[in-house]
């Protein structure tokens, strides 16, 4: 039957008549319709999955998570009251001391390992559903890296937890001192599921709420399910949702908040944290550059935010990048099964806007093809884009690579330092002096020479931003320290309590105290005997 404008008008008039009667305003009517909707989803779950698969060729897992489960979700919204209840429950557990023991911490880290090992296929499928991520990338960059973080924490935890003995001064003799790593308390992590924040917070003995990204709904739902099954729910919770749920969580008092994302939301997180003087750990990204020297052997394709090279070398670099992209993804790169898709239509539209700007018109030297239906954009290279263009002022988060050119490579350092400090910066060169100049000149969260992003795989160095790219750092023991309070403890006996500390104050007492506070042993002896300084 054809549905035309006349039919549409009739339908709207009928609906308006019902609305004007007040029928839909009552609590009873609203509740009955919500219950009916829930009943439809429950009774016809398989038919819905089959229909979605037929219409969109969605895998069953994706269809269920994104469509059916959203209908069958909790009837009660997760508001400030619900968030407050969660935090109170977790604080009761923390106050009991349960999370402080070595045994509890290790058991939960082992639970993460078990969760990852027993559900690898489900995790890979969820990541494929959300991002069309290839299995190799999911296994290596998502699952394996998180496993490595857990294994390192388990191996080193006793050492990390052990109080650190430190020296004392003669001013407090006889005394000893140590630094005790104390768990902070209740931690809120607003981040991707696989970030080491989660491992560090647990290893440090805290209770944790993890708020995964709503932009990856299949992964988020799977994480909530698995954490509930494998981990101690009295200490570790997952809260799903979007802006409303995140806002409700941010209204609560936390002992630390961690956020991974963009600077705009980072400011919102900081403003919320400031209400309770809550410390934050922010990883905000930024425009991570790669500087390419003309003297290198071009055998690698990198994935930064932009590249800077010399004007003379740029054409050769472009041709090398084109060849490497063809080696990676074939001639028809838009169809490659190894190319991840854009996370959602909004981000696809944002990337399209970057390419459609007049300022970058004619700058595309490779790629640019798009598949709006499947949210795919072919790897795209742009040459000599203006520095004030959108693609150079916003984080890209997509397969777009602008290239800037300078007269001499040292000029690139000034170019980088003239903008916001990036999360990372990379240099490809064989020149020792250029490497030294890069390290001493460029300010960024981290630097890598002759590769990109590999500092993520080095747990002995901190990973974090500086300035606009974030604050705080994590990785290995740095993750443990990020969620611990370094508590100073000084031990003294009841002997050796010098009367010179107490009234009445005299010049002699002052002379001795000054020697104790800042002098060596000879100065102290002179002060005790009243001898003048040499």
For 425-438, the pLDDT digits (tens) are 999 999 999 999 99
The C-alpha angle 39, 45, 48, rounded to 5 degrees, equals 115
Supply the pLDDT for residue 308. Answer: 95
55 — pLDDT class (breaks 50, 70, 90)? low
In this structure, of 24-28, 52-56, 166-170, 347-351, the range with the lowest mean pLDDT score is 52-56
Let me know if 301 is a catalytic residue: yes
Please report, for the domain that includes residue 363, its CATH number: 3.40.309.10
Q: Same structural domain for residues 187 and 277?
A: yes
Q: Which long-range contacts (CB under 8 A, 24 or more apart) does 434-442 make?
A: 434/293, 434/409, 434/410, 437/410, 437/413, 438/291, 438/413, 441/413, 441/417, 442/413, 442/416, 442/417
Residue 372 lies in a domain: yes
Supply the pLDDT for residue 500. Answer: 77
Q: Same structural domain for residues 100 and 242?
A: yes
Supply the pLDDT for residue 421. Answer: 92
36 — pLDDT class (breaks 50, 70, 90)? confident
Q: Same structural domain for residues 138 and 189?
A: yes
Supply the pLDDT for residue 474. Answer: 92
Report how far residue 438's alpha carbon sits from residue 452's, in angstroms, rounded to the nearest whole number.
15
The stretch 326-354 carries a mean pLDDT of: 90
Residue 414 lies in a domain: yes
Supply the pLDDT for residue 195. Answer: 67
pLDDT value at 282 more than 60: yes
Domain hosting residue 333, numbered range: 289-462
pLDDT value at 67 more than 60: no
**pLDDT digits over 211-261, tens only?**
998 888 999 999 999 999 999 999 999 999 999 999 999 999 999 999 998
CB atoms near residue 322 (< 10 Å)? 16
pLDDT value at 389 more than 70: yes
Catalytic residue from among 178, 301, 319, 326: 301
181 — pLDDT class (breaks 50, 70, 90)? very high
pLDDT value at 3 more than 90: no
Residue 106 lies in a domain: yes
Residue 141 lies in a domain: yes
Let me know if 283 is a catalytic residue: yes
Place of tokens 């001064």: 169
Q: Tell me the percentage of the chain whose pLDDT exceeds 70.
A: 90
Supply the pLDDT for residue 306. Answer: 94
Supply the pLDDT for residue 516. Answer: 74
Answering whether pTM is above 0.75, one says yes
Supply the pLDDT for residue 225. Answer: 94
Supply the pLDDT for residue 303. Answer: 56
* C-alpha dihedral, 238 to 239 to 243 to 249, nearest 10°: -100
In this structure, of 119-123, 296-300, 439-443, the range with the lowest mean pLDDT score is 296-300
132 — pLDDT class (breaks 50, 70, 90)? confident
Q: Same structural domain for residues 318 and 387?
A: yes
In this structure, of 64-73, 228-237, 426-435, 506-515, the range with the lowest mean pLDDT score is 64-73
Mean pLDDT highest for which of 18-22, 170-174, 329-333? 329-333
Residue 12 lies in a domain: no
Q: Same structural domain for residues 421 and 295?
A: yes
The Cα-based distances of 421 to 288, 416, 464, 472 in angstroms read 9, 8, 12, 14
Q: Can you read off the two tokens belonging to residue 466?
A: 């500086």
| DSSP string for residues in 308-361 | EEETTTHHHHHHHHHHHHHHHH-SSGGG-TTSPPPSSHHHHHHHHHHHH-GGGT
Per the structure, the count of domains in the chain is 2
486 — pLDDT class (breaks 50, 70, 90)? very high
pLDDT value at 73 more than 60: no
pLDDT value at 502 more than 60: yes
Residue 256 lies in a domain: yes
Q: Give the distance, in angstroms, between the CA of residue 371 and the centroid of all CA atoms in the same chain.
A: 28
pLDDT value at 456 more than 90: no
The Cα-based distances of 414 to 8, 333, 392, 441, 442 in angstroms read 61, 35, 16, 8, 8
Place of tokens 């403890």: 489
Residue 497 lies in a domain: no
Supply the pLDDT for residue 72. Answer: 45
Residue 163 phi/psi, 5° resolution? -55, 140
Q: Same structural domain for residues 194 and 268?
A: yes
Catalytic residue from among 283, 326, 436, 468: 283
In this structure, of 45-54, 269-278, 489-498, the range with the lowest mean pLDDT score is 45-54
Q: Same structural domain for residues 275 and 322?
A: no
Supply the pLDDT for residue 69. Answer: 46
- Specify which residues 178 forms β-bridges with: 165, 489
Q: Same structural domain for residues 379 and 276?
A: no
Residue 431 lies in a domain: yes
Please report, for the domain that includes residue 207, its CATH number: 3.40.605.10
pLDDT value at 74 more than 50: no
Better pLDDT: 285 or 290: 290
Q: Same structural domain for residues 226 and 304?
A: no
């Amino acid at each position: 039957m054809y549905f035309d404008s006349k039919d549409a008008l009739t339908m709207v008039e009928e609906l308006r008549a019902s609305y004007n009667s007040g029928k839909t305003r009552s609590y009873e009517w609203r509740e009955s319709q919500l219950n009916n909707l829930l009943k439809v989803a429950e009774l016809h779950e398989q038919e819905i999955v089959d229909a979605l698969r037929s219409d969109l060729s969605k895998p069953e897992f994706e269809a269920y998570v994104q469509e059916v489960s959203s209908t069958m979700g909790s009837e009660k919204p997760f508001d400030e009251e619900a968030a407050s209840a969660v935090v109170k429950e977790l604080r009761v557990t923390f106050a009991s001391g349960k999370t402080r023991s070595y045994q509890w911490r290790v058991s939960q880290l082992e639970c993460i390992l078990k969760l990852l090992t027993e559900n690898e296929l489900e995790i890979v499928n969820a990541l494929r559903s959300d991002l069309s991520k290839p299995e190799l990338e999911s296994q290596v960059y998502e699952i394996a890296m998180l496993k490595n973080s857990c294994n390192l924490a388990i191996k080193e935890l006793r050492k990390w937890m052990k109080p650190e003995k430190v020296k004392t001064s003669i001013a407090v003799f006889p005394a000893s001192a140590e630094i005790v790593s104390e768990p902070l308390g209740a931690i809120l992590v607003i981040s991707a599921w696989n970030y080491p924040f989660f491992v560090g917070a647990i290893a440090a003995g805290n209770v944790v709420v993890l708020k995964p990204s709503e932009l990856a709904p299949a992964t988020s739902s799977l994480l909530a399910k698995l954490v509930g099954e494998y981990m101690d729910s009295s200490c570790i919770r997952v809260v799903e949702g979007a802006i409303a749920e995140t806002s409700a969580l941010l209204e609560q008092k936390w002992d630390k908040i961690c956020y991974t994302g963009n600077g705009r939301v980072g400011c919102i997180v900081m403003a919320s944290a400031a209400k309770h003087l809550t410390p934050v750990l922010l990883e905000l990204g930024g425009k991570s550059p790669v500087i390419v020297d003309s003297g290198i052997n071009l055998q690698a394709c990198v994935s930064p935010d932009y590249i800077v090279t010399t004007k003379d070398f740029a054409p050769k670099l472009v041709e090398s990048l084109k060849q490497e992209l063809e080696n990676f993804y074939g001639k028809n790169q838009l169809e490659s099964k190894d190319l991840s898709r854009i996370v959602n239509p909004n981000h696809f539209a944002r990337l399209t806007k970057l390419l459609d700007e007049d300022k970058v018109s004619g700058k595309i030297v490779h790629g640019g093809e798009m598949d709006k239906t499947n949210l795919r954009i072919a790897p795209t290279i742009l040459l000599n884009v203006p520095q004030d263009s959108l693609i150079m002022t916003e984080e890209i988060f997509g397969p777009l690579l602008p290239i800037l050119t300078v007269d001499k490579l040292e000029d690139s350092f000034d170019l980088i330092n003239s903008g916001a400090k990036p999360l990372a910066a990379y240099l490809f060169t064989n020149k020792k002096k250029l490497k030294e100049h890069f390290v001493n000149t460029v300010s960024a969260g981290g630097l890598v020479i002759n590769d990109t992003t590999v500092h993520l795989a080095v747990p002995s160095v901190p990973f974090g931003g500086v300035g606009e790219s974030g604050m705080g750092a994590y990785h290995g023991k740095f993750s443990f320290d990020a969620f611990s309070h370094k508590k100073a403890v000084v031990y003294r006996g009841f002997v050796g309590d010098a009367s010179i500390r107490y009234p009445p104050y005299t010049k002699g007492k002052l002379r001795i105290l000054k020697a104790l506070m800042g002098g060596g042993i000879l100065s102290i002896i002179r002060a005790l005997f009243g001898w003048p300084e040499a």
